[in-house]
Amino acid sequence: MKAAVLQEVGRLEIVDMPRPRPEPGGIVIRVEACAVCGTDVKCYHSGHRLIVPPRVTGHELAGAITELGKDVKGLAVGDRVAVAPAVPCGECVYCRRGIQSMCDNLTAIGYHYDGGFAEYMAVPPVAVRNGCVNKLPAGVSFEAAALAEPLACCINAQELTHMGLGHIVVVIGAGPIGCLNVQLARSCGAAKTMLVDVSPERLRMSAIAQADLCINSRQEDAVKRVMAETGGLGADVVITACSVGAAQEQALLMVAKRGVVDFFGGLPKDKPTIHFDSNLTHYREFYVVGNHGSAPRHNALALSLIGAGKIDTQSLVTHRLPIDKTLDGIGITERAEGLKVIISGA
């Protein structure tokens, strides 16, 4: 089968490799859609602490089951499924508490196991056992289902921010994660959503998210504008969907008293420190949270929201490429020429 293999940092090759076979308790799927993520760009250029090359990357994916390992129950050949890439162990203290995204023994498809930039992919037994394989609701395309993964991460984030009815929400960063967060906030009953970015091009592409207001923070002071839009109160929830320390600092200045700031995007590892005047949270009693990945149940919920038409992930897809062009897909994502690029072997 054809696969895009990260041979070493900065070298991605299209190779012909043997089709994977299912382990007992595992399955094999034909990958129908695998979306390129910002993380794929990072892994290509800088590697990842959990990836030991050679490795097939790609972790936002959906496909059809072609083979079942021994003793797999509840799934059948031909089933259309999405696979949650973050695989919890199911046994550590965090898994037992139900916060599988914080699993102490977390492994991930596209990192520890070969991922979705290939014609076929094996899903390991630990993933099948822990609920990472979910059937697609009727009418959901493989492309829309592949984007259940980033949506699952947004659901995790918005659970942590207690997003809810009547909230005024600011999302900084108008990429795919920003767009999904805006859509999700609207479906949670947010009264007003504002999307902030420095790029007019990004803000134009993000129109599909239907934010109530777009703010170009290169042309105007985003903190001032948010305070003006909220009658001086600030936003109930501010989510930073970018990897920029200055955006995190702005978020701390535009959140309302008792509001919540969520640092969704991590910062570059050589620049992880921000200026945080702790008296802000002392006097204004706001919360600051972060989020990392998602649990299998977030992926299942993401699929049902997509299936019910509450979140339109399909409209985020701007490019479609064959496996041979995976590197082009990484380039398009890196240069922010589109929102989501789908790689497909079909």
Provide DSSP, 266-330.
PPPTT-------HHHHHHH--EEEE--S--HHHHHHHHHHHHTTSS--GGGEEEEEEGGGHHHHH
Q: Which two tokens stand for residue 87?
A: 């695989």
Interface region with Zn ion, contact rule CB under 5 A, candidates 19-27, 94-102, 155-163, 323-331: 94-102
Is residue 244 within the footprint of Zn ion (CB under 5 A)?
no
Residue 111 or 120: which CB sits closer to Zn ion? 111
Shortest distance (Å) from residue 90 CB to Zn ion: 6
Which residue of 25, 69, 88, 173 would you call a contact of Zn ion, by CB under 5 A? 88
Contacts of 278 (CB under 8 A, 6+ apart): none
Contacts with Zn ion, 168-197, as mask; x by CB under 5 A: ------------------------------
Determine, following the binding rule CB under 5 A, whether residue 41 of this chain makes contact with Zn ion. no
Smallest separation (angstroms) from Zn ion to the CB of 12: 17
Cα distance between residue 39 and residue 259, in whole Å: 29
95 binds Zn ion (CB under 5 A): yes
Residues in a beta bridge with 61 = 34, 83
Q: How many CB atoms lie within 10 A of CB 7?
A: 12
How far is Cα 163 from Cα 3, in angstroms, rounded to an integer?
40
Q: Which of 9, 41, 64, 92 binds Zn ion (CB under 5 A)?
A: 92
Strand order in 287-290's β-sheet? Answer: 213-216, 192-197, 168-172, 235-240, 255-263, 287-290
**Is the CB of 37 or the CB of 56 nearer to Zn ion?**
37
Q: Is 203 in the site for Zn ion (CB under 5 A)?
A: no
Among 3, 29, 68, 103, binds Zn ion (CB under 5 A): 103
Residues of the shown chain interacting with Zn ion in the complex, contacts defined by CB under 5 A: 37, 39, 88-89, 92, 95, 103
